[in-house]
Amino acid sequence: MSTPKTQDSIKVLVFAHVPPPHHGQSYMVQLMIEGFGGDHRHPERHLKLENTSPYQIDCYHVDARVSRNLEDIGDFRPGKFLRLLGHCAQAIWCRWRHGVDIFYYVPAPGKKSALYRDWLVMLFCRPFFKHLILHWHAAGLAKWLETSVLIRSRAVHYNLFKDADLCIVLSNYNRADAQKILPRQIRVVQNGIPDPCPEFECEVAPRRQRRGRWLAKTAAGIPTSPAENQPEGGDPYVVKVVYLAHCMREKGLFDAIAGITAANHKLAAAQSPLSLLLLVAGNFVNAQERTQFEELLAQPGVARCVQVLGFVAGQKKYDLLSQADIFCFPTFYQNENQPVNLIEAMAFGLPIVTTCWRSLPEMFPLGYPGLVEINAPEQIAQALLRLLGKEDGTNCRSLFLSRFNMESHLTGLAEAFHNIGKKAQPDPHSQPPKPARVPR
């Protein structure tokens, strides 16, 4: 996609936090700022400013982080309130110091403490800016407001956010969250990341294709030659299934374990030489769930099919995803929308098992065989076995290249930003989503 052709740069005050703590939203904000040329408040920290960004958007960033780590997110502390007031003061100062009149903000997910934070930001900052952009990274806020808060609170929220100049959403499912506040424009711009596997065609694809053919034969009971049985990174009969996310029940960790265990029972019953190993990569957010996880691993039937890796990054993450066979992420997290981990798995050509939850089905073609219902370990087991040797990585890699690449993401954002204040145009991505069929 070509970059938008405009004559003048526009200035945007980005009021959002970047890592740490590291999660999908903060990472995407960081990528956006870097993609648009860096932070113009601190040009000495961003060498990219030496070259003019083709998108002609100047970002002035206020790192609105109030949580110290993942465990701290959503908890109320007086210190957070004071820190937030300081961030608001910085934003107002930037408004006058740099002449920035567009305020970019990421609305909170469905949590009361986060909701109150949004109210304070709108009360203190919005009156000073001419235009408001809201970029929705979490999903489900509209439903949460209708079912979990008082009518008076809903009215306050809608009044503070109404008439936003632009709402950017990640999917058609996500549009409902923006429509509640009656914005002037809604644009669908999917997430996109830099290619984490640029060597896919020459290094990863050949290995994945060979592995796929071997798994297909072995799963079907077709004999293989000694040459084909040569291990690539370990025992060839062990199918490596990756769970890469925060280790949470809502993110599907326990369902993934149950699905792996059920799939191994089916393979053993069929006297297959194959077995599945779940590689768990990520940190725990909840101490109670960590204890439950450790108790689960103490069971003999579970311990031999789960391996804990902890947090992985850099080369370790690359090796994990390039050498894995399947990606499993059966999430039902209440604010899940368009998770970066699934996009990364696509980039590595990994067949994916995930849920028909929130915006996730829109990320895949209709009838994709890896989609399952939430809280359904038996369906997870069936999907894992269904994908054995059926996907060689080409299809998922193509999804990444065509829909979730960095250039498409930045171009979509830039076009939306440059249309601020103009008469709303029909959004080419506004067609209602087609329901994804869950394979049985």
pLDDT digits (tens, 9 = 90+) for 246-293: 999 999 999 999 999 999 999 999 999 999 999 999 999 899 999 999
Quote the tokens at residue 302: 């579970």
pLDDT at residue 47 tops 60? no
Average pLDDT over residues 282-307: 94
* Three-state DSSP class for residue 76: coil
User: CA-to-CA distance for 165 and 417, rounded, in angstroms?
Assistant: 10
**At CA 349, angle to CA 264 and CA 427, rounded to 5?**
120
Average pLDDT over residues 103-123: 92
- Res 66: pLDDT: 81
Quote the tokens at residue 29: 């904000």
Q: Where in the chain is the domain with CATH 3.40.50.2000?
A: 10-192+405-418, 200-403
- Res 79: pLDDT: 75
pLDDT at residue 346 tops 90? yes
Per-residue pLDDT of 122-178, as tens digits, reads 999 999 999 999 999 999 898 899 888 899 999 999 999 999 999 999 999 999 999
Quote the tokens at residue 316: 């370790």
Number of Cβ within 10 Å of residue 279's Cβ equals 18
Which whole-number Å values give the CA distances from 40 to 62, 87, 90, 414, in the listed order?
Answer: 11, 17, 14, 17
Q: How confident is the model at residue 64 (pLDDT cuts 50, 70, 90)?
A: very high
Say how many CA atoms lie within 13 Å of 84 toward its Cβ: 20
- Res 2: pLDDT: 47
Percent of the chain with pLDDT over 70: 87
Least reliable range by pLDDT among 52-56, 76-80, 230-234, 396-400: 230-234
Q: How confident is the model at residue 23 (pLDDT cuts 50, 70, 90)?
A: confident
User: CA-to-CA distance for 124 and 43, rounded, in angstroms?
Assistant: 27
Number of Cβ within 10 Å of residue 334's Cβ equals 17
pLDDT at residue 74 tops 60? no
Sheet hosting strand 102-105, strand order edge to edge:
57-62, 10-15, 102-105, 131-135, 166-169, 186-188
pLDDT at residue 411 tops 70? yes
- Res 75: pLDDT: 56
Number of Cβ within 10 Å of residue 350's Cβ equals 30
Q: How confident is the model at residue 231 (pLDDT cuts 50, 70, 90)?
A: low
Q: How confident is the model at residue 69 (pLDDT cuts 50, 70, 90)?
A: low
Q: Which CATH number fits domain 10-192+405-418: 3.40.50.2000, 3.10.20.740, 3.40.50.300, 1.20.1070.10?
A: 3.40.50.2000
Q: How confident is the model at residue 234 (pLDDT cuts 50, 70, 90)?
A: confident
Residue 296's contacts (CB-CB under 8 Å, 6 or more residues apart) are: 254, 257, 302
Fold of 200-403: Rossmann fold (3.40.50)
- Res 24: pLDDT: 85
pLDDT at residue 342 tops 80? yes
- Res 22: pLDDT: 77
- Res 52: pLDDT: 63
Average pLDDT over residues 195-220: 91
The residue ranking higher by pLDDT, 389 or 375, is 375
- Res 246: pLDDT: 94
What does pLDDT average to over the chain?
89
Quote the tokens at residue 250: 């809502």
- Res 432: pLDDT: 46
